[in-house]
Amino acid sequence: MIYSSEAIVLENKEYGEADLIVTYLTREFGILDLFAKSPRKIKSRFGSSLEPLTYSKISFIGREDKLQKIIQSDILYPFQKIRENYKTLLKLAEIVRWIIQFSPKKEKNPELFNLMLTVLKEIENSNKHENYILFLKIKILSILGYLPDIRYCGVCGKMLNGEHYYLKGFILCSNCLYKNGFEDIDNKTKDSYMIPRGVMNFLNSFLKWQLPYLERVKINEKLMNQVESFIKKHISLTVKL
């Protein structure tokens, strides 16, 4: 049986002397590892279609419980400009790692595929890379269920307002922080668990933004760094990468 799908290359790994294992995010089958025979032997269009972030139409064969083999790969869009921008590529590589790590293999996820494709197209034609990358990060964590609840307390379930604290992967209200053995902590220690109000407000509104807005908006650099470090802390505490 021959399968086919649109797909975005997430990464490729050398396999044997001239072969590759390519990890794709596909529209029809979710995350897939596929075998590519001899793309490294000669510089070919087939070989360049396996470069990370390339958007292609692929066909492959083989039993579903075995490593399936790519028999055709036609580039739909190479995202050449993104791949020539080292800084952006590095940031996207982090997001790609999350996708591979956090999504179950062979599970169709149209929302994830569409998001990735749409945002890559925007980045390719924009110079507001940082806005789009932050958007992609937060949306992907949200789609894959790795974003903590930002509206309700992770312990008591009440709507969050006032002060917010971050503890072991959850956002808590101040009441619940105290109940978790924090009765006696001094203000300085307590503050180190606090999420800046700006970050919470930003996350709340950011998830509702539409793509065209990202092209116009200027996100304050300090706020962007605070949001980035909150996400980084959350990922490092909840997931082993």
Task: Report in angstroms how near the CB of residue 149 gets to Zn ion at its nearest.
Answer: 11
**Contact assessment for residue 104 and residue 146, using Cβ atoms and an 8 Å cutoff:** no
Task: Report in angstroms how near the CB of residue 142 gets to Zn ion at its nearest.
Answer: 21
Task: Report in angstroms how near the CB of residue 141 gets to Zn ion at its nearest.
Answer: 22
What DSSP designation does 78 have? -
Task: Report in angstroms how near the CB of residue 11 gets to Zn ion at its nearest.
Answer: 40
Match 């595929």 to its residue by tokens. 113
**Contact assessment for residue 140 and residue 147, using Cβ atoms and an 8 Å cutoff:** no
Strand partners, 34: 22, 68
Task: Report in angstroms how near the CB of residue 168 gets to Zn ion at its nearest.
Answer: 14
Closer of 95 and 173 to Zn ion (Cβ): 173
Closer of 81 and 197 to Zn ion (Cβ): 197
Q: For residue 167, what are the CA distances in angstroms to 85, 133, 171, 202? A: 36, 26, 6, 19
149, 151, 174: which is closest to 162 by C-alpha?
174
Closer of 77 and 182 to Zn ion (Cβ): 182
Q: Is 211 exposed, middle or buried (0-12, 13-18, 19+ CB in 10 A)?
A: middle
Closer of 70 and 173 to Zn ion (Cβ): 173
What DSSP designation does 159 have? B
Closer of 156 and 237 to Zn ion (Cβ): 156
Residues lying near Zn ion in the complex (CB under 5 A) are found at: 153, 155-156, 173, 176
